[in-house]
Structure 1
Amino acid sequence: MSDSSFAWFGMTSEALIAHLRQLADELEIVERGTTPLASKVLINDWALARRTVPCLMGIPTGHPKIEDGSPLCSSGLYYLDESRGLARSFSRWYRLGRRVAPEFWNQKIKSPQ
């Protein structure tokens, strides 16, 4: 696994893996009813919001929930290695086929066939 696979996260692959493991461990602790360590950060006037995260767009084959040939926008992307033809979203692993430029999807969304 090369560190360049996680370049957009600003950390090495080892650091990201460790961070995600810590996150999972902390969620398990909270799920068992234990209160996590108090944070020094207080957030006032807060609201839920959405932000853009890296993801894949494409036409899947063999997806368990999306019909073959229908467009897909994956959940947040955590791993991408084009040389190995692999990607991992929050939900699942993908094998990578033919890549297209983002303009392909910009054009397709503006004028559906």
Structure 2
Amino acid sequence: MHEMSICEGVVLSLESEAQKQNFQKVKKVWLTVGIFSGVEIDALRFGWDVVTRNSIADGAELVVLEEQGQAWCMGCSKHVQIENRYDDCPACGSHRLQVTGGEILSIKEIEVE
């Protein structure tokens, strides 16, 4: 379950920012998770509860913002929304799509005290 290591990385980032910006506690974290990022959101939530114990983010709420899949179609030159990485273009049926969104995993925002 690589979601545990993702949570550990987020906590390390939060601790680093706490030193730079001089805050003591993280109350809420917003993570953007793309549909194609390979992250299982339920496992991420479970990992979050385990990894944040006795850390700067102990008890912090995790808000997951799911990013939809986006692609650019080489057939019709349109930006389209897709649900699966290898979908056909919903506008023209072309198989020549280049994924342009939905792969991200990032900290969007944090609430601190």
Instruction: Mark yes or no: TM-score above 0.5.
Output: no
**Under TM normalisation by the shorter chain, which class is it?**
under 0.3
TM-score, normalising length: structure 1: 0.22
Q: Would you tell me which structure has more helix in proportion to its own residues? A: 1
Q: Would you tell me which structure has more strand in proportion to its own residues? A: 2
Q: Which has the higher contact order (CA 8 A, sep 6+)?
A: 2
TM-score, normalising length: structure 2: 0.22
